[in-house]
């Protein structure tokens, strides 16, 4: 193998260049096509946008294969590229988005975005062009002043998700709400060894909006093994030893469903459901790290975010 003859930094540099060029080129194409779509909202433009987006995902996978010694992705055979899924994952690094977008067995990954992001150049335009929904949720204070706002955010987001029906999609949600760090873990007094506490609201909201078209819930566990303390930096230096992506498929009949905003009992039931998944996930991460340390003659390294 070339890795036996060339230094690690060479592979890190090549992988970083691939991801950078891939993002610039595909991002520019999506931006231009987005402007065309604004003037000519026809299906042919939308089709070209998804081709460009799919190319970006493939480029990400190529970069990961170059920069990581061991890329291990475990996806159930029942998951279909022509299906619709909600993917819930732990969040460790900025690299998570690249990793999840590079899982070729999944339909095109999409994200729920805050309404404010639509005004950011390139990001907002690109997300709009790809048909990603922007969420504008009413606060408790706003609902208290105007009860008519209750439930309107769900209906508004459902309308914005209409594009999902035409294109198979994986909607990605990081339930912890932020990247894991030991400092955040201590501040939360999290009972998990490798995770922050999951926030049920965002996941339940996505389920309520998309439940009629989802084929399943994908519980995804990300584990990195790196020589350094920072995942992205280790990747760029060629020191990222392994990426492990384990995906578990939940049938929609096994996932609690209801109105998170309106039903208190459902809020408790769904939070307990998500907590149970997180406890299992925490054990899986511990097991994966132990297995890797047995295979590696070097001392095991803790995963840490950028």
| Amino acid 302: pLDDT | 46
| Amino acid 250: pLDDT | 96
CA distances from 190 to 129, 175, 185, 193 (A): 38, 14, 5, 8
> 292: which 2 tokens?
């890797």
| Amino acid 208: pLDDT | 82
In angstroms, the CA 10 to CA 27 distance is 25
In angstroms, the CA 168 to CA 210 distance is 13
| Amino acid 301: pLDDT | 44
Closest CA to 133 of 205, 63, 194, 62: 205
Dihedral angle of Cα 202, 135, 46, 49, to the nearest 10 degrees: -70
Would the CA dihedral through 225, 101, 247, 196 be positive or negative? positive
In angstroms, the CA 287 to CA 284 distance is 5
Given a contact cutoff of 8 angstroms between Cβ atoms, the answer to whether 56 and 47 are in contact is no
CA distances from 128 to 27, 132, 264 (A): 13, 6, 33
Q: What is the pTM of this model?
A: 0.85
| Amino acid 1: pLDDT | 62
| Amino acid 299: pLDDT | 47
Domain extents in the chain? 1-67, 70-107+168-295
| Amino acid 209: pLDDT | 78
Residue in the structure block whose two tokens are 């009413």: 138
Cβ density class 36-50: b for 16+ within 10 Å, e for less:
ebeeeeeeebbeebb
pLDDT in tens, the chain (306 residues): 677 788 889 999 999 999 999 989 998 898 899 888 888 878 888 889 989 999 999 999 999 999 998 999 999 999 999 999 999 999 999 899 999 999 999 998 887 776 777 777 666 777 777 877 776 655 566 556 666 555 555 565 666 666 666 788 898 889 998 899 999 999 999 999 999 999 888 888 888 878 778 999 999 999 999 887 789 999 999 999 999 999 999 999 999 988 887 889 999 999 999 999 999 999 999 988 887 766 665 544 444 445
């Amino acid at each position: 193998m070339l890795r036996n003859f060339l230094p690690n930094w060479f592979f890190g540099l090549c992988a970083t260049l691939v991801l950078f060029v891939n993002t610039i080129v595909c991002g520019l194409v999506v931006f231009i096509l987005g402007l065309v779509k604004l003037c000519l909202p026809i299906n042919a433009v939308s089709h070209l946008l998804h081709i460009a987006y799919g190319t970006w995902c493939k480029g990400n996978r190529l970069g990961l294969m170059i920069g990581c010694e061991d890329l291990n992705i475990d996806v159930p055979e029942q998951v279909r590229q022509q299906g619709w899924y909600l993917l819930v994952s732990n969040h460790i690094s900025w690299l998570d988005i690249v990793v999840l977008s590079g899982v070729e067995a999944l339909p095109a990954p999409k994200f729920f975005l805050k309404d404010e992001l639509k005004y950011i150049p390139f990001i907002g335009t690109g997300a709009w062009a790809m048909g990603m929904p922007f969420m504008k949720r009413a606060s408790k204070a706003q609902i208290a002043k105007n009860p008519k706002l209750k439930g309107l955010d769900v209906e508004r987001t459902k309308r914005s998700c209409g594009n999902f029906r035409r294109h198979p999609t994986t909607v990605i949600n990081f339930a912890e709400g932020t990247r894991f760090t030991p400092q955040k873990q201590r501040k939360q007094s999290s009972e998990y060894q490798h995770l922050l506490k999951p926030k049920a609201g965002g996941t339940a909201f996505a389920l309520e909006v998309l439940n009629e078209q989802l084929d399943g819930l994908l519980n995804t566990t990300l584990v990195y093994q790196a020589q350094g303390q920072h995942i992205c930096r280790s990747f760029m230096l060629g020191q990222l030893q392994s990426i492990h992506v384990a995906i578990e498929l939940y049938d929609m009949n096994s996932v609690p469903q209801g109105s998170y905003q309106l039903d208190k009992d459902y809020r408790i039931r769904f939070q307990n459901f998500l907590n149970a998944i997180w406890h299992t996930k925490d054990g899986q991460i511990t097991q994966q790290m132990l297995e890797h340390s047995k295979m590696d003659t070097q001392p095991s390294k803790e995963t840490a975010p950028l």
